[in-house]
Amino acid sequence: MQTGNVAQTVGQTPLIKIKSLSDATGCEIYGKAEFLNPGGSVKDRAALGIIEAAEHEGLLRPGYTIVEGTAGNTGIGLATIAAQKGYKCVIVMPNNQSQEKYDTLRALGVELVTVPPCPFANENHFYHTAKRIAAERNQSFWADQFENTANYKMHFKTTGPEIWEQTAGEIDAFISAVGTGGTLAGVSKFLKSKDKSIHVRLVDPFGSGLHSYLKTGQLAATGSSITEGIGIMRLTANFKEAVIDDAVQVSDQEMISMLYHLAKHDGVLVGTSAALNVFAAYKYALENKGSGKNIVTVLCDSAVRYQSKVFNQNFLSEKALQPEPLY
């Protein structure tokens, strides 16, 4: 019998072939099933990497409290591992995220602080609020997922090598959105170290500035998105480590159509950022139709984490969104 604690079950997620889209494009499209991590998302990797690095450096000790500002998934990852290790958690979130995230964090025993969403320059932004709380409390550790490079290093150490091994090195493209930049940076640096010809593409929701930055050198954004935890208007320490060849934008309408397509045709229930990723992978496959290219993206979390929104017809109608056939 093999046994292990929660932290030891982070990673080694399977690579799932998206058959319907692969058949439609003549390419092989795969999703890294990060929703199978113990905390339910790709952010478990960053959480574990940050905690282990802080313990090693003596910044996090028994009896300490972990403090973090997050859209939810990193908070859940931190709280999941903290519960096993005996740390307390204070999680600061915008008050417009899915109810499922708040409920999960409360079940994990965190002290939850919610703040109104606001621009990063505002001192009441969840990031700055978490930083202040950590500074004001004794025996606290601010995880700082955006600037703490233990984040991307964990993906360089684990996610990238797993993808390389699972594809037997036969990978032509890696496509991912950015929240902190950790996943894209760690995976892109690792894959490029193995084969510089692997195409790395950033996918951005509307309302985020990274697509503009990569295309024009200027952070600029138009529109908005219902996606959670991705899209930013600044260059984080983690994002700066990414090696990127191109960038594409995906709309909420395209994302919702993909989310429902994956559920109906592939039995894959993914969240909004994952659906955004898969649509971008599908778009890249259409650009290379019939080529047989192997394309990998990240299934960041599950639709179950957003079901009160994405499976709520009233919510979708309010946002003028309805799933449409892809082809």
CA atoms within 13 A on the CB side of 101: 28
SS3 39: coil
Look at residues 22, 42, 27 and name the one whose alpha carbon lies nearest to residue 298. 42
- Report the distance separating Cα 77 and Cα 87, nearest Å: 13
- Report the distance separating Cα 107 and Cα 101, nearest Å: 10
Q: Catalytic: 131?
A: no
- Report the distance separating Cα 319 and Cα 316, nearest Å: 5
Backbone dihedral region for residue 229 (phi beyond 0: left; psi -120 to 50: alpha; all else: beta): left
Helix axes 252-261, 272-287, angle to 10 degrees: 90
Single-letter residue type at 174: F
SS3 142: strand
| Strand partners of residue 279 | none
- Report the distance separating Cα 289 and Cα 225, nearest Å: 28
* Pairing status of strand 140-142 against strand 65-69: parallel
| Strand partners of residue 92 | 69, 113
Decide if 76 contacts 55 (C-beta within 8 A). Answer: no
Q: Which helix (H) or strand (E) holds 31?
A: strand 28-33
Q: Which helix (H) or strand (E) holds 201?
A: strand 199-205
How many CB atoms are located within 10 Å of the residue 29 CB?
26
Task: From the candidates 43, 131, 189, 293, give the one annotated as an active-site residue.
Answer: 43
Q: Record the tokens describing residue 181, joined without a space.
A: 């930049």
Residues identified as active-site: 43
